[in-house]
Each structure stands twice: as structure tokens, then as C-alpha cells.
Structure 1
Amino acid sequence: MAESGSKKGEDDKVPGRVKEHLCQPCLSKDKQNVADKFCSTCNEFQCNDCSNVHNVLAILKNHKLVSVKEGNPSTTLFEMKNLELCDQHQKLFEFFCEDDNKLCCSTCAIVNHRKCHSVVEIKTIAGKITSPISTLGEKLKEAKKAAESVAKHICSSKDQLAEDIKEIHVKIRQMRDEVIRIFDDLEDSVAKRAKILQRETFENLSKKQTQNKKHLADVTSCLETIESIFKNGTPVQKYIAEHKMESNVNTLCRNTKEECQNLETVNISFHFDETLKLPPLQITEYVPGQLLLKSTRQGDVNSVNKAMKLTPISAISLKKTGDDINETLYSGVDFLPDGRLVAVDNTNKKCLVYNEKLEKVGSYQLSYHPLSVAVISEKEVAITRGIGYKIEFLHVSKCNEIRSSKICNVNTNYYSICLKDDRQFVVGTFDEPRPVRIVSLTGEERDFSVNFPNKIYPIDTSASTYIKSSDKVVITDRDEHTVYIYDIKTDTRVVVKDDQIQLPRGAAVGPSDTILVCCGKTNTIVQISQTGQILSSYKLDMTYPFRVCVSRDKSFIVVANNCPGNKIMQKFKISC
């Protein structure tokens, strides 16, 4: 009784003292029996006699009983959240089977693990745990941090998606305003041109009208004279008039006939180019654009960009032929859609066509030294030249006949050239402050909205190509042994430097929109991902590879070199 005045916290700290709980059902009967069990479902302490009712009544068999000897059972149950109970038998885990690495209740140990060699009591090995529970806690903390990062990413993605949708509306409105402006300008331009044509045509018609009036008056006067003589003249007068006026009448009749034969009907109309014509469908059936939902899984870039394999198919030696003045140098090559190859010979001023077997089937003499070539369509190619500030367009027929179709004047020195879209090129420059520009098929020039470094590349020290799917420009720097990948949308760049990239020359877009680069010092074709990863490096059987091009279906490549005395062009099959 001397301890009755002590605080509860102090009582619990007395050595040897064990806190006892009384059976609550017994207390309701004015009995004080020490509790042996705690039922978390009934939420009360019970002695053995009272708790035995759980084994009698079926409705109570699923109640969870624990021994009060294990400490404070109500606290234990709350903290453990029933983890200490067997899911199958709803009994406390008391044993551990080391053979099967499983926790066991008394029933499990007897029924399921009686043949096992090492079934021990949990309380005998609990203090010998080699992997403390704190390790699990650290793992869960990391998992929680990752889950919170995922939640943040999802929220950010939802916000970005909403912003993207707003941007779509803005872009469509901008495009609508731009189209309206274009058509307003078109209407003004066509109206002005139509007035000029109308004035010029009216002047011509007025001249013809004046001539016709004089001619009509002459015919009328001559006719009146003849009719008067025929009606009132003597035979002698008629005879004289007939012979005298015959020549004049013939001349008047001949002039009249010529006027009738030269009659023209003048009409004026306006026709849109085929590329501007929209099909006669409702906007719900035909949308002049495409709504793209692109999902990129984090970390999946390497699985998409697979290393390519090259299998040699055919090769030819580019020797000097009978009509060549100098040794051949193919400074530009590109595939036509049907698999034929177009090449430009810089030293001999030629454009040539090869079939799928690399057999020469067409040739056209140029008046200048060509630098590069880009295929525009099934029958049209564009060529850049060393001097003259021009881009020439050639027509290449199915029969391999080549002719010049038009020449566009430009204001910049252009070297490499490739197609950006149906109406524009991406062109690499030389001796210019801007390393790459955009040129339309009509010769209009403009710059990318990218902060390129302030560096001027001399001729043949840099080449460029364009990745349409991601709007990226690739620039090789021969002297710096570097490949730059510029993202036009974000105005960022990836700088690729590697021992495998030595004297990079020509570049092209390969399978899965990876980048293929000719490396002159290592005599290889290096495959680079858009993130700057070296995916593969193929050793070529040639020295100083110079230019590379890829077929439209990304199944073939052709490589031409620049080795004096041993020029080669080789074709490969691409596989992954």
C-alpha cells in the first residue's frame, strides 16, 4: 500500500513489477480474476475460462485473441495491425520454418511443416535478426520518395497537358490569321496583276478594233462604188471598173479572211496550285492537320534506338572515264523514292543517276562545280553550287533523262542540303556567320530561331542534316571532331565528343531517326542517338568516307569516299 500514491509512470518502472489486468466479464459479476487473454474484437481482457467461449460459439471463432504475457496486447495489436496473426488460422505466429523461410502459427507448424528439419520458436531467434527492420524502413522511405516523385510528375504532366491544349488553340488561331493574311495578300496581288493584264489586253484589242473599223470602211466604200457602177454604169464603165477594182477587192477580201482567222477570245481565270486544294469534305471529315498524342516512357530511349548492322551489297570504283577531265569526287548523293541514286561529281561538273545495282544509267553536264544534292520528289532534285549564289533544280525522268527545270537566286553560300518539308530545305552554309539556314523551294531564305555559336565554317569543314520527327538540326564540325544536335523547339543542344568521332564529314538520318556520320580518320560510319549516345560504329572497307545517304524506307545506305586515286561508292543493307 505504500506504493499506492506513486504515479503510474513510476509504478511501471519498478523492477520486477508486472502490471496485471483483471477479467472484465468477471468484474461484471463482482469477481476479480486476473486476465490471461485480450480479445481485440471484443476489446476486453478475459480470463481463460471466459475466453474459452470463443472456442464454443462459431460466431466468436474469428475473434483475435492474444496472451497478455506478450506485453500490452491492445497496443501491440494496434501497432502491428494484425501482422502477427496467421492469415489462414488467425493464430499468433509462434514459430519460424528456416527450411521454407516462412512464419508459422502452432497449427501451421504441425500441419504444414512437420516434416521440416528446422522449425524454431520466434522468440528464440528474434534477437538474432541479421537484417534489422530499420533497413525495411529505409527501403520504404526511398519507395515513398519515388512515389511522391511520381505523383509530382503526374501533376506536372496534367498541368503541361492543359497548357499544350491551350497552345493548340493558340496555334490554330495563329494559323487561321496567317492563312487569312496570306489570302488577303494573294487577293490584292492577283487583283493588281489582273488589272495590268486587262489594260494590256484592252490596248491590243483597241488597236485591232481601230484597224478593223478602217478595213470595214474601205470594204463598205468599195462595195458602194461597185453596186453604183453595176446599177447605173455603161458596159464600158462596168468593164473598166471590173478590171480596175479586181486587185483592190482581192486585197480587201484577203485581209478580211486573215482577220477572221486571227480572231481571239480572251479569258482570264485563277487556279490554285494542287498543294493548296482541299477536298470537298466537311471539316469534321477532313482536318487539315493532325492532333498527336505522344507518350514517352522515361528511360526507354536506349530500347528504341537499336544498334544497326550493315551488310555490303555492291561497290563500284569511281574511276575517271573518257569524258572526265579530272578525277571523280562525289560531293553529294541521295536516293530517289524508287531506289535509284543521284550523285553530283564536283570536279567534273556532272549530275549522274545510278540504278539499284549501282550501274550508271544517266548523266547531265553542269556549268558549275556542284556541292550537294537533295531529292525533292520522284522526278526533281536540287543542287547547291560553289559560287554564284544559286540553287538549281533538275528534272530526272523515269527514263533517266536529266534536264534543268529552274534556278533560284539566293544570298548565301550553301553547301549541304536536305529536305525539311514539302516546301523548304535545311541548308548548311560556308564562310557565313550562320552555320545553317532554311530556304524555300522558291528561294526565300530565313533563319532558325536558335542561338547558334558565332563560328564561321570554311568550305568542306562542316555538314548538316535535319531530323523531321523531332525538329532537330545536326551539324558536324570536322576540325573540332564534334557533332552538334540542336533542338529547335527548346533552343538547346547536345554536344557529342568521342574517340570514335574523328574528322566527321557527311551526315544523314538513319533508322529510328538516329544519326549516321562519316568519320574520315577512323574510316567508319558512326551511329548516334538523338540524345548523343554512340549506338554503333561500322568499319568501312574504304579510306576517308566522305558522304552518306539513306533510302526513303531506311533499309539501305550508300557511302562515297574522298581518297585520291582510290575513290569508291558502296551500298549496304541495314538491319537491326
Structure 2
Amino acid sequence: MADCGSNIREDDEVPGRVEETLCQMRVKEIMCQPCLSKDKKNVADKFCSTCNEFQCYDCSDVHNVLAVFKSHKLLNANVAHLIRCDQHQKVIDLFCEAEKKLCCSTCAIVDHSKCHSVVEVEKLAGKMTSPSSSLEEILQEAKENAENIARDIISSKDQLVQDVEEIQAIIREMRDEVVKMFEELEVSIVKRAKTLQKEKLGDLEKKQSQNERHFANVTAYLEAIHSIYKSGTPTQKFIAEQKIEKDANVICRDVNEECQNFQTMTISFDFDEQLNLPPESISDFVPGQLTLKYHELENVNGVNKVKILTQVSSFDLKKTDDDIEEPFITGLDFLPDGRLVAVDNNNMKLIVYDEKLEVLGSYQLSYGPLAVVSVSEDEVAITSGDKYMIDLLRVGKANEISSRRKYRVTTKYDSICLKDNSQFVVGTFDYQIPVEIISLAGEPDALSINFPNKAYQADTSVCTYIQNINKLVLTDIYKHTIYIYDIKTNTRVVVKDDHIQTPCGVAVGPSDTILVCSYGTDSIVQISQTGQILSSHKIDMKYPYRVCVSLDKAFLVVTNSCSGNPKMQKFKMSF
């Protein structure tokens, strides 16, 4: 480095000093210098680099009137600081190559006098073959990221309000369910208590009636004895005692027995010890806690963000002579050699297409297929909605198709994809676990994920698997939601966005991103691994339903679910 690098100047950074940026200077009002000399204050519109002055519209207009000024170069005042020295307010016309600094003539004398490589900017600029767009790209990227942050801040603020409202709604729903439960409990317990009450009241009434008879008999005998003892003869007394003694003994025995066996009756209802009711705190016996979840904006540099979808092929799916109904493609995938396989649920067929989406061959199935996945160079696996099985078929190089084997399973499977070389990941329906693992030999296995206890109905959820990062993607059509599960950490990201309405088909895209068919917006949406919306592309197709991506991640194929206008389209992705 040149010697001038050791100079310490007043303008060097020191603690407490704040350097003005161009953005900050632009905010300030720049006054017209000729007007200021006349004690007038007018905002400058232009800067003349020859005059080295900021000028208002009226003052700068002389450059358009007088010929002597027409060679002067005018700039907008708000960008003039780009060509002026911040320290000396002179036009920058020199560049110190040693320190890589722009400087004016004063800077060159004061700060760079010892430098031997101060060059005129005009000479350096003349050597530039073409203006570089990298700076513009950097600024454009910064602008896009700032816009994303602004949008995410607004979204987060709205989400926080919505979250609290949802929590309140959940608590109220819990309260209503608890109230309903206790109302049902009250009806049940009171009914049983009244039945028990009726039974025991009957027993008590019998005892009461019997006791009243004993009481009446004892009272009558006592009155008789009292009367005889008071006015009867000894003979009468003897006879009365003999007669009463036998009955009295029986009465005393019965009364004593009843007295010994009598128990007072009460009815009560007690909760189990596990349920602590107030005055204990409600939080002591109701499980659950508030959690604050953070989602950091990810750095998407290096991610292949789909900027343009270029349609390379499109055709209407027409009913052929051997078709029973209008075609309905419910599953599709690319073979390694670039051919496309698709399953037609309505007509129970597997169809093979070439790169131009022209039919190469088809195979009649005995069931309504739901999804298909390429297993190897010449093998595909198909799921069925009405049969508990996975069907493996061979698709030869000459497009001949034959059945290889079928695996019987115990669950209905909709979507299917490969987890690795030995396992499938399958989406279930009418089953309490939404996703399962099945080996290529047909043996089931469970994912170590805490799924919500929810059974999806047919055609309300599909899944795919990102092999490189071990993440599972699951759609929920009616909640307009994408779930991204991390298998290693057993955590998930919930993706909700206005771009995603009724998410149907889903596939792994470039850079392990996620491509989703947004059925409700006629779009293909690209999502990052962590749930950030990267791009959204409106396509010329109503209700996109299923999507697949080629192995080189250069093309995608989309089909729709539109009665009367079914289509299949192929797009090239540009990044």
C-alpha cells in the first residue's frame, strides 16, 4: 500500500462520529446556491458540474437559453452527491488506485500527495468496455429482500393478532366442550341417582310402614297393661301378662333386629383424585401452555428461485375411443430417461408420454389408480383408492407395459413417492396417521413424527419427501396449509399464505424447494425448505391438480381437475 495510507486525517472514523449515507443526504432539502446569494431560499432541482452549483429550476434554465452554458452538464439534484466529494463539496474527478478511493482536487493535494497512482476518473471510465450490471443486481436483490422483510413484518403482525384470536377461540371451544361434557354428566348422574333414590325410598317406606305397626302394637299393649295394673284384679293381671308376654317378646325381637340392621342412607358423587377442581388454579389441571415460535427469514442466496415458467407443450386431455369417461389424471411422474408416466383414474389406465407429451403407450388396469411414482429405469409403483395394494409394473424401453407384482397393504394410500432406494413414503386417507413408510417389499413402518390425530378423507391431502434433507411435505386442502416436517428433529413448519389456496399436488423442485399446485389461484407456488414463499406463477390452466418435476429439475408437468376442460402442460423453469 502507498505511504498515504498512514496519514491520520480529521475525516477518518473516530468513536462517536456518524457518517452520512447517500440515502440520508437525499432526505435533506438542498437549496439553490444562486438564490441563497440573493437571500432567497428555493429548493434546488439541478446540479451543474461545470458551475459546481446546486440550482433551482429558474436558475438552471439559463443553460437552455444562453449558448455559453449549453455545454454544461446538468444532473438531478437528488443524485448530485454521487459525483461530489462529501468533504470538500467539489466534483470528484480523480481516483487513488493505491487506496481505492475517489477524490476531488483538494483531496488529491491534502490527503494523497504522497500517492503515486492518482488517476483521472475520466481516463479510467474510458477503459470500461461496458457498464457492469452486478451493482444493480446487488441493489435489486437488497430491495427485494427489504420488500420481503416488510411484507413478512406485516404478515407477522397480522398473524400475531390472528393467533391470539385463534387461542381465544380454542379456549372457548374447550370451555363449550367441557360445559357440554358436564351437562351430559349431570343428566347421566342425576338419572342414575334418581333411580337409586327411588329404589332406596321404596325400601325405607317398607321399613317405615313395618316400624309404624310395631309402634302401634307396642303402644296398644302398654295402654292395656297400664289400665289393668291400675284397676284390674290379680287374676286379670295374670291373664293379661300371659297373653301379652309372647307378643311382646316377638315385637321386641323384631324391633331390636331392625334397630341393629338399620343404616341411614345418603347419595353422593365424587370425582377421581386425578381431577383437581377449583379452588385449585385452572392451570394446575388443564394441560397446555403458551409458546412463542420464531421463524427466521432464511438466506435464499444460492437457491434456484424459479423466475419464469415457459410453456413448451400443452394439450387438452380428450376422451379416446376406448375411454369410458373424460380423462382424469390423478398421478404423474418422470421416468429417468425423460418419458412421463401418468395414471387416469376415470378410465383405469397407465399412460406413457414422450418429451412432447405425445402418447407412446398405455396399459389397462383393473382398478381406479390414484398415484404413480418412478421406482427405477423400467419400474413404476401405483396406489389405488378402492383396493388395499401397491401395484408394481414394468415399463420397457419400447413402451411395453406388464405387471410385475402386487403388495397387499392394510391402509388406503393416495400419494406415493420414494424415501430412498428401499422405501416408499405414502399418504393415507381414512386412517388416523396421515403418512406411513412402506418398504419396496411391501412391509409397513412408522415415521417417528408426532402427527396430529386427524384422519384425512380421500383427496384432501397429499405428501412428498425431500430425500437430501429428510423432510416430509404434507398438504391440507381445506386448511389451505402446507406442513413441512423435519424427520430428524420431529418439528414442523406451518405454511399459510394468500398465494396458497387449496393446495393439491406437490413435488420436490430445484434446490430441494417445494412446488405446489395452488388449485384456488390457478398457480404454481415455489416454497423454500423452511417455508418461505419464493415465487408464484399464474398458469394458463384452471384448477391445477398434480405436478411432477424432471430429474434434472429443468422441467415440470402439470395436470388439472377441471370437468369439461382437462389439460396437461409442460413448462421449462428459468432461474
Q: TM-score, length-normalised on structure 2?
A: 0.50
Larger Rg: 1
Q: TM-score, length-normalised on structure 1?
A: 0.49
